Amino acid sequence: MTPEELFSTLQNLIAEQFALDPETITMSSSFTDDLGADSVDLVELVMAMEEEFDLDEVNEDDLAQLKTVGDCVKYLSGRIN
């Protein structure tokens, strides 16, 4: 999957999880500052990512590094490709 495809899929996943318009989500969107996510939201998003992208469990150290949508795209690109 290309980074653009990952972003598009992730954008829709985030929009669904956080009840947002996908067009408002950018690569630089911060989960907490821009999207209003709390720790429970982030855990639910990671579970949805694991299912959507058929990943093994994301460990807590990796999760702590995922601050923006772009961080997630970069992380997923490394895990999938």
Catalytic one among 21, 38, 54, 61? 38
Sequence-distant (6+) residues with CB within 8 A of 11 are 22, 25, 69
- C-alpha 79/C-alpha 52 separation (Å) is 13
Report how far Cα 74 is from the mean position of its chain's Cα atoms: 10
Strand, coil or helix: 53: coil
Residue 38 is a catalytic residue: yes
Residues tagged active-site: 38
